[in-house]
Structure 1
Amino acid sequence: METVFLRYEKKYVLNKAQEKALVKGFLDAGFIYDLYSPNGSLYPVYTIYYDTTNFEVIRQTQTRLSYKEKLRVRFYEYPLKDDTPVFIELKKKLSGQGNKRRLLVNREKAIDFLNKKIPLEFDDYTQNQIYKEVKFYLDRYEVVPFTFIRYKRLALLDPKTGIRVTFDDHIEYAHLKTLDKETEFFTLPQSKNLIVMEIKSLFNYPLWLSKLLTENKVFTKSFSKYTNTYETLHEGGMIHVNT
């Protein structure tokens, strides 16, 4: 299982008709559904984003700095069990290029580390290096759980070039931000009737892909689930952090 990702990432906002046309276009071009979307099925993604108590991380996003970094916890099963796989991810972005490094632990160890500061140990060299980076980030920023988001994802992959395309729908947020308890989710108002597509590639797009996007009137448009959830909570007077 990969734990280090380096690639360019671009987001697009689509309607249902555009999504349908693009999925067909990708499949016709030789893309396949990836491991998590067998036969085109959707799979759930759950993410808890961390921020400081004065919102340093969200400010990086809002001011559109060329360099950004954030910590998040991601998992694909909910509610969680003690042995549920949990990814602690440190994501950095510089001039459009994303660098994601993640630790794989179970829920119990994730809680011990993030909530109780109990150190983690890994036999794998790469995981140990990533752990040091995550720990340094936590010591530097003193972040706390800030937003909890879930959505359903469809993912396709080009086995030749490694280009990966994801389509995210049914975006929801929760008020409670914890790995310890179950919580209720609410539809993110800004995401109604739209799909967020992201193309992740190591290189520039091939000509046919640029043509496919143009033909379907699909152009780059930023849509941050994290930022939109922050704005929803802020405007609703529900901003608070777990300390």
Structure 2
Amino acid sequence: MLANLAAPQKSAVPMVFERHEQKYVMDQSTYQQLLKKLGNQIRMDQYGKQTISSLYYDTEDYMFARRQLDNSKYREKLRLRAYGDPVDHHQPAFVELKKKVNGVTYKRRVTLPYNQAHRYLASRSGSISRNDDMNAREIDRFTHSHTLTRQTAVIYERTAYSTADGLRLTFDENIRWRSRNVNLINHNQGIPLLASGMVVMEIKLPRALPFEWSQLFASLRLYPQPFSKYGLIYKYGIQGGQQCLSVI
């Protein structure tokens, strides 16, 4: 039993999020046009370009993946996330519980060395709670309340930008997944989710999208749409057996 793992390390990365998110899917040509038109309104932020690797935990019947695809006003999912390539046993990793309630995204997370976080989630009986850490208590509650037998690795390259007034945009490319040999330290290979060159943009919105941006997006035929990487991997890959999607 893993009782009281090492306390989450302090980090400059926020541990609690509350925000609206809008997602857009585009080809490379549109992506390059968008970057050109946004010009000096955006700049690459402190995270720049990096590989993101996530391991999603689910029930035997993929209950949480299926909920990503329905019209439920309440959704949640648990994942282990690491940054960089390759992933190392001892590097900091994030155990994240992500919820979406009435269109607003909430995320709680704690940080642990990757090997400890992976062992905690595999055990389903340990604890990372501390009396003063609501994030850890919430994650413990979730892992102890569900039998999490399914694991799916999702890997992609992300480029992050921000504006002077705090708007943040991310662009994800080469999204791939695997449901075997899922330990993130093994390799970063996987089955493509989208056709080559497709890009997923996500805008983190503390407020409404600027009007001039709405006009720009419309001129490029870019419109927000639901897009859950994990949900679509389940629907088209795990359940449907498709290698990749050309359009969503």
Q: What is the TM-score of this pair, normalised by structure 2?
A: 0.84
- Residue number among 19, 22, 26 corresponding to 1:10 in the alignment: 22
**Mapped pair 1:142 → 2:147:** yes
Whole-angstrom distance in 2 between the partners of 1:169 and 1:92: 24
Q: After superposition, what is the alpha-carbon deviation per residue over 1:157-199, rounded to whole angstroms, capped at 9, x for unaligned?
A: 1131x21111111111123254375146233253433111111
Paired with 2:216 and 2:59, the residues of 1 have a C-alpha distance of 41
Kept in 2: contact 1:147–1:177 (CA 8 A): no
User: Does residue 23 of the first structure (1) align with residue 35 of the second (2)?
Assistant: yes
User: Do 2:130 and 2:137's aligned partners in 1 also have CA atoms closer than 8 Å?
Assistant: no
Are residue 75 (structure 1) and residue 78 (structure 2) matched? no
Q: Any unmatched runs of 5+ in structure 1?
A: 238-243
Instruction: Give the % identical residues.
Output: 27
Change (3 A) 1:144 1:23: farther
User: Which residue in the other structure is 2:58 paired with?
Assistant: 51
- Does structure 1 retain, via aligned residues, the 8 Å contact 2:156–2:172? yes
Instruction: Say which of 115, 126, 137 aligns to 1:132.
Output: 137
Q: CA deviation at 1:23?
A: 1.8
Q: Which runs of 5+ in 2 are unaligned?
A: 1-12, 243-248
Instruction: Say how many residue pairs are matched.
Output: 228
Query: Structure 1 residue 121: deviation in Å?
Result: 5.5
| Alpha-carbon offset, residue 108 of structure 1 | 2.3
**Counterpart residue identity of residue 92, structure 2:** P
Match of 1:119 in 2: 127
For the aligned residue pairs, the C-alpha RMSD in angstroms reads: 2.1
Q: Would you say the 8 A contact 1:51–1:144 is kept in 2?
A: yes
| Structure 2 SS opposite 1:48 | strand
The residue that corresponds to 1:241 in the other structure is none
* Equivalent pair of 1:6/1:97 in contact (CA under 8 Å): yes
Asked if 1:64 corresponds to 2:71, the answer is yes
CA distance in 2, matches of 1:172, 1:82: 21
